């Protein structure tokens, strides 16, 4: 298997560095990438071989609930895995114990399953390389950190929080970026032993070294960030014994045999740091691909403070999982073409990693109802999916109108199926069918004799004509034929115009003054329910 991708978008190399590498171009000619002083870039297309088992992971922190940005990262990982016959792993990075949100861990997996992108391995499902909660893997991180200390790639740091805060304040005062000054990397061995013996609080820091090698990102091309020149040595084990992200993620990726890391572009600058750790441990790093950010349509960053970006809120509002996946991929890149209405199997088959661009994806949630309408129509037209919708709607109807339903026939499968087919393309979600505008479908409407009298004095006569028409149809009602028959029927009224006849029938059948055509109302309700509702007109006294 192979992926085609662009190769030289932003490298991050020093201006005095020249790197020459050879690749195979899809035109079967050898081409060079040369980065020189002044930023000369010659772009080429690189064929990246995907060899062996593909294993990708989605590794959120349960310090909050799953939101759209996280869902999109999980989705691209899922699609990538399924495209290349691999595995999609959910790993929960719960090492920041002070910020954990109760219920968030379970909710994240619930939402992935709801969205139709369930993990192959996870805390809930288990798997061969678990546990999949970082808080249950602490011994592994400690062993790795000690290995780095013994090899000289890490060291104990005894600086107090007060000293670190003073360093930060001084840097800010002088207009510099706060960074650790690496003081403890220069301690003698005897000083370290003495402090450890006296149980002085400490962390373990990784020793950043100059000489970062460039790496090829699947999306951003060749990159290199000389982190030792701009950062202090990072903490890898905190004072409480828990690892930081920088250590835990590479340890887990290594032992979980992750082949490709697809994560947000905000981690791009940290990758060189992580590669230094891989090199220090003698491990082969995975292939990296950094996904561009998902942003609001005006270019502002999605914020967790926007309550409507959490997946649970979309689920609560009746958004279909397929529509949510469709809109988050449609606004971005990674596909040969963009079109509305793609299901997950189509997203997988049409996925092309080389088409993922570096610019941010602008999400227009105002278009979500249109996407939902499209996918709802698809599901109504699919027999298996339609049955699921019917069962879902049955439950919602009982919950919303339990005490008001006069006839349980409105809960029957065939009745609800008929309603769905006549409303497909008109509604954006099942929840719309539970709104007051559609309550007539489940509850017989009420109307007054004054409302009827305002329309016509021939209500009983018109009702009799319609009832006879329904009986003559023999239970087989069709919209086109009913439209013709109702026009003919209206001519039999002595002093009531066609428009008033339609208003009367609409009032009796739905209690509303506007909505679907009367013919559509009749077909949706069916002969038995039409008869029930029009009989009320027969009981009204005729007026002159």
Task: Split the chain (544 residues) into runs of 10 and give each run's mean pLDDT.
Answer: 40 31 31 28 41 92 94 97 97 91 96 98 97 97 98 98 96 94 97 97 96 93 93 96 96 98 95 97 97 90 72 94 96 89 96 92 94 97 96 95 88 95 94 94 93 94 96 87 96 94 97 92 94 91 60
Q: Which residues of 10-46 are buried (b: 16+ CB within 10 A; e: fewer)?
A: ebbbeeeeeeeeebeeeeeeeeebebeeeeebeebeb
The ranges assigned to domains in the chain are 136-291, 382-441, 449-539
CA 453 to chain CA centroid, nearest Å: 54
Instruction: Judge whether 449 and 532 are in contact, CB under 8 Å.
Output: no
Q: Which residues pair with 20 in a beta bridge?
A: 34
pLDDT at res. 149: 98
Q: 243: closest CA among 214, 205, 194?
A: 205
In this structure, whether the domain defined by 136-291 belongs to CATH 3.40.50.620 is answered with yes
pLDDT at res. 50: 64
Taking the C-alpha atoms of residue 304 and residue 69, their distance in angstroms, rounded to an integer, is 9
Spell out the residues 6+ positions from residue 79 whose beta carbon is closer than 8 angstroms to its own: 334, 347, 348, 351
CA distances from 184 to 180, 202, 233, 235 (A): 10, 10, 10, 12
Q: What is the CATH number of domain 449-539?
A: 1.10.10.350
Backbone phi, psi, residue 235, to 5°: -75, 135
pLDDT at res. 30: 28
pLDDT at res. 98: 86
pLDDT at res. 47: 43
Taking the C-alpha atoms of residue 38 and residue 13, their distance in angstroms, rounded to an integer, is 11
pLDDT at res. 543: 57
Spell out the residues 6+ positions from residue 71 whose beta carbon is closer than 8 angstroms to its own: 111, 115, 311, 324, 325, 328
Backbone phi, psi, residue 426, to 5°: -105, -25
Instruction: Judge whether 7 and 216 are in contact, CB under 8 Å.
Output: yes
CA 234 to chain CA centroid, nearest Å: 32
- Longest pairwise C-alpha distance within the chain: 112
Active site residues: 304
Number of Cβ within 10 Å of residue 544's Cβ equals 3
> What does DSSP assign to residue 182?
-
SS3 of residue 201 by DSSP: coil
Percent of residues in the chain assigned helix, strand, coil, to nearest 5:
50, 15, 40
pLDDT at res. 8: 39
- Return the CA Rg of the chain: 33
> What does DSSP assign to residue 521?
H
- Say whether the peptide bond before residue 131 is cis (omega within 30 degrees of 0): yes
3-state secondary structure 318-351: CCCHHHHHHHHHHCCCCECCCCCCCCHHHHHHHE
Spell out the residues 6+ positions from residue 464 whose beta carbon is closer than 8 angstroms to its own: 538
pLDDT at res. 305: 57
Q: Which residues pair with 363 in a beta bridge?
A: 296
H runs (alpha helix) in 151-221: 161-173, 189-197
């Amino acid at each position: 298997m192979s992926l085609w991708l662009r190769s030289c978008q932003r490298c991050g190399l020093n201006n005095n560095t020249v790197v020459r590498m050879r690749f195979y171009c899809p035109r079967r000619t050898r081409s060079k990438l040369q980065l020189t002083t002044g930023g000369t870039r010659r772009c080429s297309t690189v064929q990246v071989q995907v060899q062996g088992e593909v294993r990708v992971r989605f590794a959120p922190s349960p310090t909050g609930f799953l939101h759209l940005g996280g869902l999109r990262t999980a989705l691209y990982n899922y699609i990538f895995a399924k495209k290349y016959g691999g595995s999609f792993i959910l790993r929960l990075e719960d090492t920041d114990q002070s910020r954990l949100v109760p219920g968030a861990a379970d909710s994240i997996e619930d939402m992935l399953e709801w969205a139709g992108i369930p993990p192959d391995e996870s805390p809930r499902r288990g798997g061969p390389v678990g546990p999949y909660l970082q808080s249950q893997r602490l011994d592994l991180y400690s062993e790795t950190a000690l290995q780095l200390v013994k090899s000289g790639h890490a060291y104990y740091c005894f600086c107090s929080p007060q000293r670190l805060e003073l360093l930060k304040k001084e840097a800010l005062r002088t207009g510099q970026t706060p960074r650790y000054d690496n003081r403890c990397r220069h301690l003698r061995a005897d000083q370290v032993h003495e402090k450890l013996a006296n149980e002085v609080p400490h962390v373990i820091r990784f020793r950043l070294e100059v000489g970062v090698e460039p790496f090829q990102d699947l999306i951003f091309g060749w990159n290199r960030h000389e982190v030792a020149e701009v950062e202090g040595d990072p903490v890898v084990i905190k004072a409480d014994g828990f690892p930081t992200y920088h250590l835990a993620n590479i340890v887990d990726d290594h032992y979980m045999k992750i082949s490709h890391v697809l994560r947000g572009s905000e981690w791009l600058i940290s990758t060189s740091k992580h590669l230094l750790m891989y090199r220090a441990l003698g491990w082969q790093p995975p292939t990296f691909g950094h996904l561009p950010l998902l942003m609001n349509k005006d270019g502002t960053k999605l914020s967790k403070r926007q309550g409507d970006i959490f997946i649970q809120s979309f689920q609560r509002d009746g958004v279909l999982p397929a529509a949510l996946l469709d809109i988050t991929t449609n606004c971005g890149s990674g596909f040969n073409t963009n079109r509305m209405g793609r299901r997950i199997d189509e997203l997988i088959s049409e996925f092309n990693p080389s088409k993922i661009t570096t610019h941010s994806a602008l999400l227009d949630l105002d278009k979500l109802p249109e996407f939902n309408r499209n996918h709802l129509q698809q599901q109504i037209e699919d027999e298996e999916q339609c049955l699921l919708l019917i069962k879902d709607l049955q439950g919602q109807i009982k919950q919303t109108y339990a005490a008001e339903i006069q006839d349980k026939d409105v809960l029957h499968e065939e009745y609800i199926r008929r309603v769905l087919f006549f409303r497909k393309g008109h509604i954006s979600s099942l929840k719309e069918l539970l709104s007051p505008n559609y309550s007539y479908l489940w509850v017989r409407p009420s109307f007054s004799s004054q409302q009827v009298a305002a329309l016509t004095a021939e209500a009983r006569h018109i009702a009799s004509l319609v009832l006879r028409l329904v009986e003559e149809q023999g239970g087989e009602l069709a919209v086109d034929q009913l439209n013709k028959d109702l026009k003919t029927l209206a001519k039999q009224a002595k002093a009531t115009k066609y428009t008033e006849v339609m208003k009367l029938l609409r009032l009796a059948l739905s209690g509303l003054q506007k909505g679907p055509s009367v013919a559509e109302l009749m077909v949706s309700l069916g002969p038995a329910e039409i008869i029930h509702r029009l009989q009320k007109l027969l009981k009204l006294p005729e007026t002159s």
